[in-house]
Amino acid sequence: MPAGADFGEVRDFVELLKPRVMSLVVLSGVAGLLAAPGALHPVLACVAVLCILAGAGASGAINMWYDRDIDAVMRRTQQRPVVTGRVQPAEALAFGVTLALFSVMLMGLAVNWAAAGLLAVAILFYVFVYTVWLKRRTPHNIVIGGAAGAFPPMIGWMAVTGTVDPGAIALFALIFLWTPPHFWALSLYTDIDYSNAGVPMLPVVAGRQATKKQMFVYTLLLLPLAPAPYLMGFAGPGYGLVALAMGGLFVVSAARVLKDESRTQKAAKQMFGFSILYLYLLLAVLIVDATAGQLV
């Protein structure tokens, strides 16, 4: 960030980090950290969360640098800092790379190198596998690329244990299966933008109805998976009940999308909003449950 930057410039660099995405990434990382067996010193736990946050922000900044050409075409992204020229492409790339190196090195030196290694994999996966390779080439971009967003709870877990355990894999799977219906709901009512930008999102390639069927299938898969933390013994019955209830509502939401034939795709817009609430609530309950368990 340039020396002597004013408030507007600072805000632009913060926007590069994709703060709304970062909030979910941090929440999932904290959930993994607290749900893991064992404990981490509070200071080291804060450092681990900071590294996860910085790594997510680095990925977002590099993504905005690389995608500036298609971002300029899509209405949803036309006001991003690199597109409007408020941040120069070279500045965005340097900012992202610096944050990435900082987050990985700090995680390794302060916490453990296993978590640092997985953080590096997550950043590289998002940048090279999703952004560079998959996003513009295949309608499976979100399915495979969703792994990038599923790494944070595993990283939080590994910060405590240094290992990848079945519990960490369950949290990874939860977010991995949540990602496609979440993003496809968005792409259903922004498909024209994606088409104009040449991004082969599933509605653009396979059509809206095929996408809606896929979304419904994924919500059905999530229904028995979401309660896994309770079934595996690292979350209480309260979490299990919330997971089942929210899972049922997610399936109902997907069914409404499947039946919606309106031009506005109102049901898809509602499902997109609900999908965010779904994951936020599950992670929040898991954090509260884990915190209460540690205080007992």
Tens digit of each residue's pLDDT (9 = 90 or more) over 10-61: 999 999 999 988 899 999 999 999 999 998 999 999 999 999 999 999 999 9
Q: pLDDT tens digit string along 96-112?
A: 999 999 999 999 999 99
Predicted pLDDT of residue 6: 65
Average confidence (pLDDT) over 7-11: 80
pLDDT-derived band at 255 (thresholds 50, 70, 90) equals very high
- Provide the token pair at 136: 């513009």
Joined together, the tokens standing for residue 213 give 């069927």
Task: Tell me: pLDDT of 169 over 80.
Answer: yes
pLDDT of 1 above 80: no
Q: Quick one: average pLDDT of 201-217?
A: 96
pLDDT tens readout for residues 112-136: 999 999 999 999 999 999 999 999 9
- Tokens (6 digits) for 49: 């969360």
Confidence of residue 7 (pLDDT cuts 50, 70, 90): low
Mean pLDDT of 158-166: 96
Q: Which of 266, 249, 248, 244 is nearest to 257 (CA)?
A: 266
Q: Model pTM?
A: 0.93
Q: What's the pLDDT score for residue 263?
A: 79
Q: Looking at the predicted structure, is the pLDDT value of residue 90 above 70? A: yes
| Intra-chain end-to-end CA distance of the chain, in Å | 45
Residue pair 275/192 in contact (Cβ under 8 Å)? The answer is no
**Looking at residues 134-158, what average pLDDT do you find?**
94
Mean of the pLDDT values across residues 165-176?
Answer: 97
| pLDDT band at residue 295 using 50, 70 and 90 as cut-offs | low
The reported pLDDT for the residue numbered 292 is 81
Using the predicted structure, report yes or no on whether residue 294 has a pLDDT greater than 70.
no
Residue 238 has pLDDT above 70, yes or no: yes
Task: Tell whether the model's pLDDT for residue 3 goes beyond 70.
Answer: no
Does the pLDDT value for residue 5 go beyond 70? Answer: no
Strands (E), the chain: none
Determine what percent of the chain is predicted with pLDDT higher than 70: 96
Q: What is the pLDDT of residue 262?
A: 84
Structure tokens at 149: 């967003």
Helices and strands per DSSP (H, E), number in the chain: 15, 0
In whole angstroms, give the CA distance from residue 11 to residue 14: 5
Cβ partners under 8 Å of residue 249, min gap 6? 274, 278
Specify the amino acid at residue 268.
A
How far apart (Å, rounded) are the C-alpha atoms in residues 177 and 219? 8
Q: What sign has the CA pseudo-torsion 226, 257, 274, 184?
A: positive
